[in-house]
Amino acid sequence: MVTFISKSPEETIALGEKWGLEAKTGWLIGLRGDLGAGKTRLVKGLARGLGVRERVHSPSFALVNEYSDGRLPLFHLDLYRLQGQELIIGAGLEEYLLRPRGITLVEWIDRWLGEKPAPVNLQRPYRDVRFEIRGENERLITHEDFSA
């Protein structure tokens, strides 16, 4: 497990940007943490690292935002309003979680996986990311990678 302490929103964005520069097709990144922990900021940075020029924002009400103007397609899901796998499948989001078509980032991945650190039937590289609020601007960000 890798640990990173972000002392500002800009540092969280920079971490995401670094990951975007390294990203490969098929990555699934699950984000866990309270509201306001920095999940969307990390996504903004990753999008920047991929070269996405579109405005990146949380898909809380749309459920998924797609960005296709970067070096790889980016799919940003927010499962906060969906309680459980049946609702996620019913919303048509299963394909983003199981079939690699680019990079998929999922806020509130626990709605899909529960507290499991990784999908049971891992079909693509998976990074489990956890955010912990330590102070007004400080976040403890840990991640663990799992291979397909």
3-state secondary structure 24-74: CCCCEEEEECCCCCCHHHHHHHHHHHHCCCCCCCCCCCCCEEEECCCCCCE
DSSP code of residue 130: E
117 lies in some domain: yes
The whole-number pLDDT of residue 59 equals: 84
- What average pLDDT score do residues 47-75 get? 93
Q: In total, how many domains does the chain have?
A: 1
Note the pLDDT tens digit of each residue in 93-143.
Answer: 988 988 768 999 999 999 988 887 777 677 788 999 999 999 999 999 999
The range of the structural domain enclosing residue 96 comes to: 12-135
Amino acid letter, residue 87: L
pLDDT on residue 117: 78
C-alpha 128/C-alpha 142 separation (Å) is 8
Residue 43 placed within a domain:
yes
> Has residue 66 been placed in a domain?
yes
Strand 126-133 relative to strand 103-107, pairing: unpaired
**47 within some domain:** yes
| Domain membership flag for residue 2 | no
Is residue 30 within 8 A of residue 122, CB to CB? The reply is no
From the CB of residue 125, how many other CB atoms can be counted at a distance below 10 Å?
Answer: 17
**Domain CATH number, residue 108:** 3.40.50.300
